[in-house]
Amino acid sequence: MISIIDYGMGNLESVRKALALLGAPVQIVSDPESLRRSDKIILPGVGAFRDAIAALRKTGMDAAITEFIASGKAFLGICLGMQLLVDTGFEDGEHRGLSIIPGQCIRLTVDQPPLRLKVPHMGWNSLNFDPSHCAPLLAGLPADTYMYFVHSYHVVPADPKTVAATADYGVKVTAAITRDNVMATQFHPEKSQAAGRKVLENFLRV
């Protein structure tokens, strides 16, 4: 059973429907015990780092996620769900994350001179990765695959080897990370049409 974590800030129905269309058994969970019984989990998210990490800690889901990942089972974070994996987030102050992936989540500053791009970064952007040596999450996708992004903050991992794909938006943005059984995307696969479905299919096969 694949569980989608409900902590009051996720894009739950879009993710659930995308997985259901792929024939995956899926449930939405909001308590640690249900999460522990899951085969795979997805941490979605739309919102602020501070509020999200506070919600996970209030219910004990933060510790349950860490325990689940330590068990070796497959984990997928989406958008804010990827950002929460790092040590520190700087949205609305400085806040401690889950510390699964060493690194920080910082604001996109591309709206400042000389770039003056819009923040949030919203819309379709192509990925940068090598299809011949890519992470399993991106298997079968062609180079320059387009995915849908909506975010004002981005992850800067301490170890560049965890970066599976990037996107260019004035600066190089971490678009996907992988480390062992932990996978995450800054883009929204559930909103990225056929390419996004392929990412979710790959996660189901892990």
Assess whether pLDDT exceeds 90 at residue 89: yes
pLDDT band at 132 (very low <50, low <70, confident <90, very high): confident
Residue 33 appears among annotated catalytic residues? no
From 13, 33, 79, 154, the catalytic residue: 79
DSSP letters of 5-42? E-SSSS-HHHHHHHHHHTT--EEEE-SHHHHHT-SEEE
| Average pLDDT for the chain | 95
pLDDT band at 53 (very low <50, low <70, confident <90, very high): very high
> What are the helix and strand counts (H, E) for the chain?
6, 13
Q: Which pLDDT does position 108 carry in this prediction?
A: 95
Residue 105 appears among annotated catalytic residues? no
pLDDT band at 51 (very low <50, low <70, confident <90, very high): very high
Assess whether pLDDT exceeds 80 at residue 109: yes
Q: What's the chain's length in residues?
A: 206
Q: Which pLDDT does position 136 carry in this prediction?
A: 94
From 91, 95, 151, 190, the catalytic residue: 190
From 105, 134, 188, 201, the catalytic residue: 188
Q: Which pLDDT does position 46 carry in this prediction?
A: 84
Assess whether pLDDT exceeds 80 at residue 167: yes
pLDDT tens column, 22-38: 999 999 999 999 999 99
pLDDT band at 62 (very low <50, low <70, confident <90, very high): very high
pLDDT band at 168 (very low <50, low <70, confident <90, very high): very high
Q: Which pLDDT does position 174 carry in this prediction?
A: 98
Residue 134 appears among annotated catalytic residues? no
| 174: amino acid identity, one letter | T
Please name each of the domains of the chain with its CATH number: 2-205 (3.40.50.880)
Average pLDDT over residues 17-21: 93
Measured CA to CA, the distance from residue 136 to residue 104 in angstroms comes to 24
pLDDT tens column, 186-203: 999 999 999 999 999 999
Measured CA to CA, the distance from residue 124 to residue 145 in angstroms comes to 10
Measured CA to CA, the distance from residue 178 to residue 135 in angstroms comes to 7
